[in-house]
């Protein structure tokens, strides 16, 4: 046996080829092509063991005996399909008798066919009837050939003659080959001659000590069982384990067909899918399919497509919905804010799984599990020590910080363009910059040109278009790459044409492909059509609710639309979940600055971890926030003291430090002029003591230092954003422009220097 190589799993891979803890096959060798790539990323399902620790439960040994042992009246029919055994005149229906509608008396019997002491197949001694399944009774029995080990007998088949029964038994022998930690083990298939029903087949399974999720729903609401609960993170953990079981079946060409809370058992430390009576091969058609109406797709879909992997996932979606709907009322996400986004993401996950449109549902258990785990990470992010980088994503990480320069030291042109460099810009990036800076979707592994795209290595958008022009193949992913390249080259018409070509190649599935909607959103965002972009990104969110990229895009759209409450929900969902999504942190900081919450903005910037590539930008932004004038007024002396202290800890070159120091001294001079500088801390930045005269002398030096920088700066860096009425740049040569900038800064130094007495 070898150790499991899934992150966070401590199990081992046994002789069955699956881990004894997480139930998954080992991670594939990435140097070899995957044999069965998924619709989304081609990766297998991630383990949930490192995210949720399910409590170990104990159960009453006689718990199963409390199940009602009567067939519900709505399921009582005679062999010819007539309703029998129904309540009449207030009297309960008979459990056995003869059908009054048949031309000849037809017996019916809804009592358990086996009695304690009966011996099935000369081996299994019945102890008692413990439950009623969808197709028959379930019995607890002893295996007399194996030390009287407890087994469960599930009656599933009735046949008119022994020949057809033998054929049916042979057909279902494949169940004995199934071996997965999340599927009850089928160990035999036995037959017994029932005196009423006739020849009957029984699946012999391991007997599980536990309760079904249906009973767990009831127990979770019982105050007498305080240790039993059904919080949303447990529901998602159950869903993940069920998906692992369904994935195992689907990869073997099998369908479960009858997923519902009754058919999932919660044992002491594991989730087990039980009741294998409805398992069938993918190509077996829809005749006789076992399903529960409340958890199944429409009758029209069964007639058109038969049972499919997507119908199994539909039933699981309904199961998750049912479990959440009946949970014990209370906090959904421990430790999270009341308006946390996790519940909405959960609802969107379920909504996609149960969409009426077959094409728009999850295509595989792997695809659904990826999104389920993303939602689970989002829900757990509000708890302590739960923030961690995203292990997998449908998007490639973006290196760009969406901050509009808030995390950069002020450029020289700040002091050329205006006398006052102490007013803080809102730091909100332009929509076109956001469109270019958002994460890029990973190529669809099923795209015919995916291997070609992996070999493309272009340094810029123009080079990328050149390489793509040499590719003879045409595919959706190639056109989407062209779309992004044209967008980067500020050619929206060509970008729209490439996207149109991608939509044409997608065909009827255009609305089912979230990548198309994502690029529609990018084009709308680049054109500053914020409402349209928000609608497209919201559609992407509904399709892939476990991903962070759509939420970051929606946060920006909400911020631009003035809905700061909604923007904060999206930004917080991203930031609480992944500490390396610094763009979300800067988004939250902007919202707090807009509300004049200077300390709140600094607090969120301080959360950017040291390992983040944007850590230094966040530290610079914090200094600027503490030393700048906001719409609510200037900083206090205490806040300016913090800026001075933080500046000393920054690792900056001389030019950058001079510019940041100049901004702090300008703000200190404003405080000194208004008489609020008494509490300023002295030192090399503000003087010792920090009097108005000392600050003026230091600010004079700052302006002269900036003048020296102007003489050696690249000329375009000196061009102001707005033409100064005092200084005209038109027609200036580079050398003349640098000298003019130097002279202007020297003039400012002279204007601010302290007066001298003669």
Spatial distance between the Cα atoms of 388 and 399, rounded to a whole number of angstroms: 18
**Bridge partners (DSSP) listed for residue 96:** 109
Summarised one tens digit per residue, pLDDT across range 527-540 is: 999 999 999 999 99
Nearest by Cα to 395 from 299, 500, 537: 537
More confident residue, 14 or 465: 465
Average pLDDT over residues 293-313: 93
Summarised one tens digit per residue, pLDDT across range 458-501 is: 888 999 999 999 988 899 999 999 999 999 999 999 999 999 99
The yes-or-no answer on residue 258 being catalytic is yes
Nearest by Cα to 422 from 205, 702, 690, 179: 702
* Residue 683 DSSP class: B
Q: Give, to the nearest 10 degrees, the angle between helix 530-543 and helix 549-560.
A: 150
C-alpha distance from residue 463 to each of 148, 432, 450, 457, 466 (Å): 73, 21, 19, 9, 5
pLDDT at 526 over 80: yes
Spatial distance between the Cα atoms of 374 and 236, rounded to a whole number of angstroms: 10
Local confidence band at 34 (pLDDT 50, 70, 90 cut-offs): very low
* Top-tier CATH class for 221-380: mainly alpha
Local confidence band at 384 (pLDDT 50, 70, 90 cut-offs): low
Q: What is the pLDDT of residue 722?
A: 39
The CA-CA-CA angle for residues 33, 501, 539, to 5°, reads 80
pLDDT at 2 over 90: no
Helices assigned H by DSSP within 401-448:
413-417, 431-437
Average pLDDT over residues 37-46: 36
Average pLDDT over residues 283-299: 85
Nearest by Cα to 575 from 356, 378, 328: 378
Cβ atoms 646, 623 nearer than 8 A: yes
Local confidence band at 505 (pLDDT 50, 70, 90 cut-offs): very high
pLDDT at 224 over 60: yes
Local confidence band at 250 (pLDDT 50, 70, 90 cut-offs): very high
Summarised one tens digit per residue, pLDDT across range 717-728 is: 666 543 444 445
For 300-319, give the DSSP string. HHHHHH-S-HHHHHHHHHHH
Q: What is the pLDDT of residue 42?
A: 35
Average pLDDT over residues 406-431: 79
Q: 11-15, 132-136, 432-436: which has the highest mean pLDDT?
A: 432-436
Q: How many CB atoms lie within 10 A of CB 122?
A: 10
SS3 state at 96? strand
Q: What is the pLDDT of residue 386?
A: 63
Local confidence band at 319 (pLDDT 50, 70, 90 cut-offs): very high
More confident residue, 605 or 714: 605
Spatial distance between the Cα atoms of 512 and 305, rounded to a whole number of angstroms: 18
Q: What is the pLDDT of residue 35?
A: 32
Average pLDDT over residues 180-209: 84
Domain limits of the chain? 60-69+112-208, 71-104, 221-380
Average pLDDT over residues 700-706: 93
pLDDT at 14 over 80: no
Summarised one tens digit per residue, pLDDT across range 565-615 is: 999 999 999 999 999 999 999 999 999 999 999 999 999 999 999 999 999
What's the chain's average pLDDT? 84
Cβ atoms 13, 26 nearer than 8 A: yes
More confident residue, 695 or 196: 695
Q: What is the pLDDT of residue 173?
A: 72
Q: What is the pLDDT of residue 19?
A: 64
Q: How many CA atoms does the CB half-sphere of 294 hold within 13 Å?
A: 8
Pairing of strands 210-212, 264-267: antiparallel
Average pLDDT over residues 374-389: 79
Average pLDDT over residues 391-418: 85
Local confidence band at 135 (pLDDT 50, 70, 90 cut-offs): low
Summarised one tens digit per residue, pLDDT across range 58-111 is: 665 544 444 457 777 887 888 788 999 898 888 888 888 899 899 888 888 888
Q: How many CB atoms lie within 10 A of CB 147?
A: 7
Q: CATH classification of 60-69+112-208 is 3.90.76.10, yes or no?
A: no
Average pLDDT over residues 612-635: 93
Spatial distance between the Cα atoms of 693 and 691, rounded to a whole number of angstroms: 5
Comparing 329-333, 387-391, 520-524, 692-696, the range with the smallest average pLDDT is 329-333
More confident residue, 500 or 420: 500
Spatial distance between the Cα atoms of 449 and 145, rounded to a whole number of angstroms: 58
CA 515 from centroid of its chain's CA atoms: 16
Q: What is the pLDDT of residue 627?
A: 93
Reply yes or no: is the peptide bond before residue 689 cis, omega within 30 of 0.
yes
SS3 state at 629? strand
Give pTM, 2 decimals.
0.84
Q: Which residues in 641-675 are b (16+ Cβ under 10 Å) and which e?
A: bbbbebbeeeebeebbbbbbbbbbbbbbbbbbeee
C-alpha distance from residue 417 to each of 420, 421, 718, 725, 731 (Å): 9, 9, 9, 9, 17
Q: What is the pLDDT of residue 43?
A: 37
Residue 293, C-beta contacts closer than 8 angstroms, at least 6 positions apart: none
pLDDT at 340 over 80: no
Active-site entry in 188, 258, 543, 670 = 258
As given in the structure block, the two tokens for residue 121 are: 């197949």
């Amino acid at each position: 046996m070898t150790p499991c190589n899934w992150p966070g799993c401590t199990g081992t891979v046994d002789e069955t080829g699956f881990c004894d803890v997480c139930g998954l096959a080992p991670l594939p060798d990435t140097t070899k092509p995957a044999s069965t790539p998924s619709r989304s990323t081609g990766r297998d399902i991630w383990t949930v063991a490192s995210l949720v620790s399910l409590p170990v439960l104990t159960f009453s040994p006689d718990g199963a005996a409390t199940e009602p042992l009567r067939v519900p009246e709505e399921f009582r029919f005679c062999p010819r399909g007539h309703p029998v055994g129904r309540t009449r005149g207030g009297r309960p229906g008979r459990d056995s008798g003869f059908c009054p509608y048949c031309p000849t008396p037809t017996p019916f019997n809804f009592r358990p066919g086996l009695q304690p002491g009966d011996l099935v197949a000369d081996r299994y001694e019945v102890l008692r009837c413990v439950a009623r399944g969808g197709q028959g009774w379930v019995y607890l029995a002893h295996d007399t050939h194996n030390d009287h080990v407890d087994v469960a007998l599930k009656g599933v088949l009735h046949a008119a003659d022994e020949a057809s029964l033998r054929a049916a038994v042979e057909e279902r022998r494949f169940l004995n080959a199934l071996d997965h930690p999340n599927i009850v083990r089928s160990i035999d298939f036995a037959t017994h001659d029932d005196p009423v029903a006739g020849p009957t087949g029984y699946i012999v399974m391991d007997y599980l000590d536990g309760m079904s999720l249906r009973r767990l729903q009831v127990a979770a609401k019982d105050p007498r069982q305080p240790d039993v609960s059904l919080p949303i993170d447990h529901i998602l953990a159950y869903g993940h384990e069920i998906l692992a079981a369904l994935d195992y079946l689907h990869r073997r060409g099998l369908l479960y067909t009858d997923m519902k809370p009754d058919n999932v058992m919660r044992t002491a430390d594991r989730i087990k899918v039980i009741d294998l009576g409805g398992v069938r091969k993918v190509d077996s058609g829809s005749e006789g399919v076992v399903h529960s109406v409340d958890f199944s797709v429409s009758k029209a879909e069964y007639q058109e497509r038969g049972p499919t992997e997507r119908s199994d996932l539909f039933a699981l979606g309904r199961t998750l919905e049912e479990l959440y709907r009946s949970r014990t009322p209370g906090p959904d996400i421990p430790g999270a804010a009341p308006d946390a986004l996790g519940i909405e993401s959960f609802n969107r996950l379920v909504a996609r799984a149960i969409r009426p449109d077959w094409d728009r549902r999850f295509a595989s258990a792997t695809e659904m599990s990826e999104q389920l785990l993303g939602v689970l990470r989002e829900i757990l992010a509000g708890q302590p020590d739960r923030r961690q980088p995203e292990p997998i994503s449908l998007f490639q990480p973006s290196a760009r910080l969406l901050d509009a320069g808030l995390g950069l030291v002020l450029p020289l042109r700040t002091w050329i363009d205006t006398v006052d460099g102490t007013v803080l810009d809102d730091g909100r990036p332009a929509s076109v910059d956001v469109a270019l800076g958002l994460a890029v979707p990973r190529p669809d592994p099923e795209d015919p040109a995916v291997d070609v795209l992996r070999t493309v290595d272009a340094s810029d958008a123009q080079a990328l278009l050149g390489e793509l022009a040499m590719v003879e193949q045409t595919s959706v992913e190639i056109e989407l790459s062209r779309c992004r390249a044209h967008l980067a080259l500020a050619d929206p018409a060509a970008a729209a044409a490439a996207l149109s070509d991608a939509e044409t190649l997608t065909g009827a599935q255009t609305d089912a492909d979230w990548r198309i909607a994502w690029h529609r959103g990018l084009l709308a965002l680049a054109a500053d059509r914020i409402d349209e972009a928000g609608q497209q990104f919201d559609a992407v969110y509904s399709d892939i609710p476990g991903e962070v990229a759509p939420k970051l895009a929606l946060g920006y759209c909400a911020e631009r639309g003035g809905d700061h409450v909604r923007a904060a929900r999206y930004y917080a969902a991203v930031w609480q979940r992944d500490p390396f999504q610094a763009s979300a942190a800067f988004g939250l900081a902007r919202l707090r600055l807009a509300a004049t919450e200077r300390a709140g903005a600094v607090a969120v910037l301080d959360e950017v971890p040291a390992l983040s590539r944007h850590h230094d930008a966040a530290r610079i932004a914090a200094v600027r926030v503490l030393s700048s004038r906001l719409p609510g007024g200037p900083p206090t002396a205490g806040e300016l003291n913090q800026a001075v202290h933080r500046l000393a800890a920054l690792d900056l070159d001389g030019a950058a430090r001079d510019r940041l120091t100049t901004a702090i001294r300008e703000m200190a001079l404003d405080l000194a002029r208004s008489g609020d500088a008494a509490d300023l801390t002295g030192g090399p930045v503000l003087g010792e003591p920090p009097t108005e005269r000392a600050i003026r002398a230091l600010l004079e030096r700052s302006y002269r230092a900036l003048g020296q920088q102007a003489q050696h700066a690249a000329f375009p860096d000196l061009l102001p954003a707005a033409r100064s009425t005092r200084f005209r740049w038109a027609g200036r040569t580079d050398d003349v422009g640098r000298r003019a900038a130097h002279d202007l800064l020297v003039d400012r130094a002279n204007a601010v220097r302290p007066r001298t007495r003669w």
